[in-house]
Amino acid sequence: MTVHPTDLADPQLPHWLFQAALSAVNGETAVRNALAANGGSSRGPEYAPGYTHVIALGKAAASMMQGALTVLGDGLARALVVTRQGYLDAGLCADERIECIESEHPLPGERSLEAGTRLLAFIDEAPLDAHLLFLISGGTSSLLEVPVTGIDAARLAELNRWLLGAGLDITAMNRVRSALSVIKGGRLAGRLAGRNARALLVSDVPGDDPSVIGSGLLVVGEPRGEWPAVPDELAWVDELAQMPLRPEAATPVSVEIVASLGKAMDAVVAAARLRGLPVFRHDAFLDGEAAATGERLARELIRSEPGVHVWGGETHVHLPDDPGRGGRNQHLALAAARVLAGHDHVRLLAAGTDGSDGNSEDAGALVDGDTVARGGAEGLDAADCLARADSGRFLAAAGDLIHTGPTGTNVMDLVIGIVRDRAGD
């Protein structure tokens, strides 16, 4: 394969590859395709006028709902859409059949409790012979909750603040969330009263396990991993988790993953090949500490052959008490930038496919061998910003942030490395 240094040097290339990935896992397209494939020539009963009740939850809810609406048309009876603040679509919510709720993320609160209560009522209001179509994406864990007795909004926020800052992986976090919820851990399936139900999922968890996505509302999973050590001030977590929950007969739900990190990575590979560029797909899931991962990938890229490299996953950051602006992708990118300093042939993009990274409004960052110098010229110190979890401030000063707004999907994070031929420097 011929290497085109001019293409690998194209300033737009990393953005273009990231956009190709986002399009391939877009919630609207994924739902539309899944329903159209199912309808085909022998359209199922969900298309009968006024028969289907849609429940769209998570960061990609509005976009997934749009996909369902396009295919169902007047097959849609009613819908409930629960998504993150700022992620709704005004046109969608103008449809009087569609009830829209903006809820809280990444920390659940009062509105998450209201949304959880509304979800149960919405299901109860659907006729017993209705078809329930669930469209679930990540973010659901925070956006909706019906907790066990003894947990109010303040405790819920306290619990999740600890879970998000403790460096736990999503499986461990959701194990705790599920133990304290009457809808998570598959328990929502016990509230469907035998209604015919189908779920389409956009996966934001490693291994695409439906019992982990959105804390597995409809699918009971095997408890996996260690129960984490709970800090003393949260002793009520262990106490309440031991209380037995009333078992309810679960209604079987057909579950299908319609978009995933793997598909997003495939799309980067295909887009690079389309340009005739060499591409290296790294399948090992990125799940380590963000800064250490960024440094490791930067070292690998410096030594690598020219071409496009793609990784996917979800790293984590141990947050200090008073974190600054940023998220795991920006943290990873800034740590990588320190290693890349002076190496002009490498660029690295790290971004969340949902368009938001940590507590910032940015998706991530695109760094290069000059990032540290650019931020330094603005009076900032990269090591200091990393120590204070303030990578966003540094990257904003360096002009390296990537902003997409809500993307209509959520399949974890992508890291795209571009290595140019050194002769072209």
Among 67, 138, 375, 417, binds ligand 3PY (CB under 6 A): 138
409 is a site residue for ligand 3PY (CB under 6 A): no
260 is a site residue for ligand 3PY (CB under 6 A): no
Q: How far apart are alpha carbons 29 and 51 in whole angstroms?
A: 22
> What element of type H or E holds 411?
none
89 is a site residue for ligand 3PY (CB under 6 A): no
CB of 58 to ligand 3PY, least distance (A): 6
The answer to whether 392 and 352 are in contact (CB under 8 A) is no
Maximum distance among all Cα pairs of the chain, rounded to whole angstroms: 69
The answer to whether 407 and 355 are in contact (CB under 8 A) is yes
Amino acid in position 65: M
CB of 141 to ligand 3PY, least distance (A): 3
147 is a site residue for ligand 3PY (CB under 6 A): no
Q: Which stretch binds ligand 3PY (CB under 6 A): 76-84, 115-123, 138-146, 398-406?
A: 138-146
159 is a site residue for ligand 3PY (CB under 6 A): no
The answer to whether 193 and 126 are in contact (CB under 8 A) is no
CB of 204 to ligand 3PY, least distance (A): 5
CB of 168 to ligand 3PY, least distance (A): 11
Task: State which residue, 142 or 391, has the beta carbon closest to ligand 3PY.
Answer: 142
Amino acid in position 151: I
Task: State which residue, 196 or 203, has the beta carbon closest to ligand 3PY.
Answer: 203
CB of 259 to ligand 3PY, least distance (A): 12
Among 22, 65, 69, 170, binds ligand 3PY (CB under 6 A): 170
Among 31, 213, 286, 336, binds ligand 3PY (CB under 6 A): 213
β 254-259/196-202 pair status? parallel
CA-based R_g, the chain, Å: 22
Task: State which residue, 213 or 348, has the beta carbon closest to ligand 3PY.
Answer: 213
3 state DSSP class of 198 = strand
Amino acid in position 176: V
CB of 413 to ligand 3PY, least distance (A): 13
Residues 191-210 that bind ligand 3PY (CB under 6 A): 204-205
3 state DSSP class of 405 = coil
139 is a site residue for ligand 3PY (CB under 6 A): yes
Residues 261-320 that bind ligand 3PY (CB under 6 A): none
Residues 172-191: x where in contact with ligand 3PY by CB under 6 A, - otherwise, as a string:
--x-----------------
The answer to whether 134 and 61 are in contact (CB under 8 A) is no
Binders of ligand 3PY: how many residues, by CB under 6 A?
11
The answer to whether 32 and 70 are in contact (CB under 8 A) is yes
Q: How far apart are alpha carbons 65 and 366 in whole angstroms?
A: 31
214 is a site residue for ligand 3PY (CB under 6 A): yes
390 is a site residue for ligand 3PY (CB under 6 A): no
140 is a site residue for ligand 3PY (CB under 6 A): yes
DSSP secondary structure string for all residues of 281-314? E--S-B-SBHHHHHHHHHHHHHHSPSEEEEEEE-
Task: State which residue, 52 or 360, has the beta carbon closest to ligand 3PY.
Answer: 360
27 is a site residue for ligand 3PY (CB under 6 A): no
CB of 310 to ligand 3PY, least distance (A): 22
Close Cβ partners of 265 (under 8 Å, ≥ 6 residues apart): 21, 281, 310, 312, 414
CB of 245 to ligand 3PY, least distance (A): 19
Place of tokens 């209201």: 114
C-alpha distance from residue 300 to each of 18, 32, 61, 337 (Å): 20, 39, 37, 13
Task: State which residue, 26 or 215, has the beta carbon closest to ligand 3PY.
Answer: 215
Q: Which stretch binds ligand 3PY (CB under 6 A): 116-124, 134-142, 227-235, 266-274?
A: 134-142
The answer to whether 368 and 48 are in contact (CB under 8 A) is no
141 is a site residue for ligand 3PY (CB under 6 A): yes
Q: Going edge to edge, which strands form the sheet with 364-368?
A: 279-281, 307-313, 413-419, 346-352, 364-368, 401-402
DSSP secondary structure string for all residues of 315-337? -B----SS--S--HHHHHHHHHH
Amino acid in position 31: V
Which residues contact ligand 3PY by CB under 6 A? Answer: 138-141, 170, 174, 204-205, 213-215
